[in-house]
Amino acid sequence: MAVGVFDSGLGGLTVLDAVARRLPQVPFVYFGDNAHAPYGVRTSDDIFALTCAATERLWDEGCDLVILACNTASAAALKRMQETWVPKDKRVLGVFVPLIEALTERQWGDNSPPREVAVKHVALFATPATVASRAFQRELAFRAIGVDVEAQPCGGVVDAIEQGDEILAEALVRSHVEALKRRMPRPEAAILGCTHYPLMQQAFQDALGPEVKVYSQANLVAESLADYLTRRPEFLGQGTETKFLTTGDPASVSNKATLFLRHRIVFEAA
């Protein structure tokens, strides 16, 4: 009864950590496409092809349900995958909707018309591909009116994290927050719209200031997955083992993952 978790690299481990804590009885198979990260500077055709290949590999591991723990893939490829590619006996879900439901104070499946919500000025930090897709604004517009979103494409941050260069990642976070604040001086909420960014959450919070509520996805996705599996237990696949697969160098990816999550993680070649 395994579930697949996909990311372009290390970022999805922030989601994996939360879902594994929320559903300790479920084995998870993680796939990091480290050889092709970052996705955030790729075209949507490229992101679609890479995400489909990784998803198929997770199906081979007995995971009928795959979570795209990657906003870039969720924004640039998920809709096309669901509409044209995913067979009826499999499911692929993204990480955008749980976050937007939290921001707009909605329960799962509440499809009522968009309404006014408490928060009015939202800063979105994401990869260039996610920002260019405008998927966040589109999903938000289905649920809320009168929310001003200022999006900052955070070039370089994922690369620095994948390379394990925390100092560079922090410096880039500070400069991206400053750039956003020049356009939106007082955001009330900030969305970390990339699963790599919770690894830099403190740097975002410090640069934004304590009055800004920072939303990150891991726990919201975990709740939403638990809820989904209660409603659709048939999508718990045949897999039985938790494992970590990478297209990159397993030894070096294991070391970086262990460093970031502060517990030992061993990757094997995908």
Under the rule (CB under 6 A), what is the footprint of ligand DGL? 7-9, 11, 37-40, 70-72, 127, 130, 158, 194-196
The least distance separating ligand DGL from the CB of residue 264, rounded to whole angstroms, comes to: 22
- Side chain identity, residue 24: P
Based on the number of CB atoms within 10 Å of its own CB, is 45 exposed (0-12), middle (13-18) or buried (19 or more)? exposed
Q: Which of 52, 63, 154, 194 is catalytic?
A: 194
**CB 192 → ligand DGL: shortest distance, Å?**
9
Residue 216, φ and ψ in degrees, nearest 5: -125, 165
Give the whole-angstrom CA distance, residue 73 versus residue 51: 7
Nearest to residue 1, comparing CAs of 229, 244, 270, 231?
Answer: 229
Taking the least distance from each CB to ligand DGL, the nearer of 9 and 239 is 9
CB of 76 to ligand DGL, least distance (A): 9
CB nearer to ligand DGL: give 36 or 57.
36
**154 noted as active-site residue:** no
Find the farthest-apart pair of alpha carbons in the chain and give their distance in angstroms, rounded. Answer: 51
Q: How do beta strands 3-7 and 213-215 pair?
A: unpaired
Query: Based on CB atoms, which residue is closest to ligand DGL, 67 or 70?
Result: 70
Q: Which of 7, 22, 31, 8 is nearest to 239 (CA)?
A: 31
Is 30 known as a binding-site position? no
155 in a labelled binding site:
no
Q: State in angstroms the smallest separation of the CB of 201 from ligand DGL.
A: 14
| 74 annotated binding-site participant | no
> Which residues lie across from 51 on neighbouring strands?
none
Tell me if 230 is assigned to a ligand binding site: no
Residue closer to ligand DGL, measured from CB, 59 or 136? 136
Do the annotations mark residue 196 as ligand-binding?
yes
Catalytic residue among 52, 63, 70, 154: 70
Q: What span, in angstroms and rounded, lies between the C-alpha atoms of 239 and 65?
A: 11
Which residues carry a binding-site annotation for substrate? 7-8, 39-40, 71-72, 195-196
Q: Just list the catalytic residues.
A: 70, 194
